Amino acid sequence: TDYLTNILNRRAFFEIADKMSQLAFRSKKTFSILILDIDFFKKVNDTYGHLVGDDILKHLVQNVLSEIRESDVFARFGGEEFIAFLSDTDEKGAFALAEKIRISIEATPYVDDTLCIPITVSIGASEQRDEKVLASLIKRADEALYRAKDNGRNKVEIG
């Protein structure tokens, strides 16, 4: 478990997602990966401090958890980056969920007693195709994430 956000950490994600992907391969079911990254998070930390940055990470996690299914595997991938394994979800479904998450986060700024900080995320999504290795699918989602950032941020791209 990630100590800050209380969701799975990267190692636990891979342990679970590897098993789920093997099961999906065997049963010929589709699945998708989402990778989310908070836009301009370094600027938030530099402006408001790391404690506020930590609170924003927790705020984002609660927001995402309210949008995904209990059967989805959601984890902190590193820093301000998060990953989700969506079983029985094709590219169209992954895109729709990613857009729902993106819109929800944009519509829900971080608020405390003195601050109101808007948050946006860029998201890369990819559907399992012929990959037999989860890392290949994650690589495509990561490449899509960087396209979303290159195309102006606060976007979803398919890889």
Contact 120, 102 (CB under 8 A): yes
Distances (CA, A) of 131 to 68, 94, 103, 104, 136: 24, 17, 30, 31, 6
CA 54 to chain centre: 16
Asked about 157 being catalytic, the answer comes back as no
- Count CB neighbours of 42 within 10 A: 11
Q: Long-range contact list for 144-148, CB < 8 A, 24+ apart?
A: 144/35, 145/35, 145/36, 145/37, 148/122, 148/123, 148/124
* Of 15, 80, 81, 131, catalytic: 80
| Residues designated catalytic | 80
